[in-house]
């Protein structure tokens, strides 16, 4: 018989015994990738709206990514810069089997879904190409898009979304796409295994703070890599 020897830590190995011998079963990790913040710690600017989904000053957070080969090919089918920024952008799509995002990242609609007309910001072929689990308080049928992306709307909270994403991802990792509130919820629940934060050389003054009030060392995170580029400083935080 297979007996679980103890509950796994998030993203860590699941220890099982098989005929008296222990073995490790790899579990997918929950990763935040290419998440841009300002020098003063904001992941989105103030006054977000349909016309300005990233808030006032928010687009400036992502200048480092727009010119990379990864994002140019993904968004426009064109070539871009192959540099430090591109190395970090491309790693965010490696070994990803599912994604999770908050409803506000999926779209500007608030409250009950009036209909199924809103299909995200990304057109008919979103850049995910994996199942995406959208946190919401209101039920909606799955939305099948081109290119392998299906949006599943999860009403049971962050743990249910993670459980469904792990099942879909198999041995691959899960990308926690955002936005700020969603990342904070998973951080405070000690569920995020690794974060790639791109600190852009801009000041927003106000908006949505990513780490405000969160004691990262107390949650077990440490900086394992930091690499500057012309447009950002890339920081990798990993839970020990």
pLDDT at 22: 44
> Roughly what angle, to the nearest 10 degrees, separates helices 158-169 and 180-188?
90
Q: Would you say the pTM of this structure is higher than 0.85?
A: yes
Extract the runs of DSSP E, i.e. beta strands, from the chain. 2-4, 14-18, 21-25, 30-37, 42-44, 96-102, 131-135, 143-144, 150-154, 173-178, 194-199, 208-209, 221-228, 233-239
Asked if 193 and 222 count as a contact pair (C-beta separation under 8 A), the reply is: no
CA dihedral sign, ordered 165, 183, 95, 140: positive
Secondary element (H or E) of residue 64: helix 63-66
| Segment 9-62, tens digit of pLDDT | 444 444 444 444 443 445 899 999 999 999 999 999 998 887 888 899 999 999
The two tokens of residue 30 are 């929950």
| Segment 213-235, tens digit of pLDDT | 999 999 999 999 999 999 999 99
Asked if 98 and 131 count as a contact pair (C-beta separation under 8 A), the reply is: yes
| Mean pLDDT for all residues in the chain | 90
How much is the average pLDDT of 97-122?
92
**Could you write out the DSSP letters of every residue in 66-134?**
HTBHHHHHHHHS---B-SHHHHHHHHTTTTEEEEEEEHHHH-S--SS-S-S----SS-SS-S--SEEEE
Chain Cα centroid distance, residue 79 = 24
| DSSP code at position 138 | S
Chain Cα centroid distance, residue 180 = 10
The two tokens of residue 63 are 């200048």
pLDDT at 26: 56
The pLDDT of residue 4 is above 50: no
Return the number of other C-beta atoms located less than 10 Å from residue 103's C-beta.
Answer: 21
């Amino acid at each position: 018989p297979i007996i679980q020897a103890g509950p796994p830590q998030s993203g860590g190995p699941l220890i099982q015994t098989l005929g008296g011998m222990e073995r490790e079963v790899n579990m997918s990790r929950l990763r935040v990738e290419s998440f841009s913040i300002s020098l003063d710690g904001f992941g989105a600017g103030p006054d977000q709206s349909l016309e300005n989904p990233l808030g006032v000053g928010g687009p400036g957070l992502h200048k480092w990514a727009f010119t990379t080969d990864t994002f140019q090919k993904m968004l426009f089918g064109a070539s871009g810069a192959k540099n430090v920024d591109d190395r970090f952008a491309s790693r965010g799509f490696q070994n990803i089997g599912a994604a999770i995002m908050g409803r506000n990242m999926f779209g500007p609609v608030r409250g009950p879904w009036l209909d199924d007309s809103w299909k995200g910001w990304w057109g008919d072929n979103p850049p995910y190409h994996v199942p995406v689990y959208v946190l919401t308080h209101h039920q909606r049928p799955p939305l099948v898009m081109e290119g392998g992306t299906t949006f599943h709307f999860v009403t049971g909270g962050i743990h249910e979304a993670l459980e469904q994403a792990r099942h879909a991802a198999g041995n691959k990792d899960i990308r926690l796409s955002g936005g700020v509130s969603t990342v904070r919820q998973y951080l405070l629940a000690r569920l995020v295994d690794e974060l790639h934060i791109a600190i852009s050389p801009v000041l927003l003054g106000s908006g949505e703070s990513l780490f405000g009030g969160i004691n990262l060392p107390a949650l077990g995170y440490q900086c394992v890599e930091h690499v500057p580029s012309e447009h950002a400083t890339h920081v990798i935080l990993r839970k020990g």
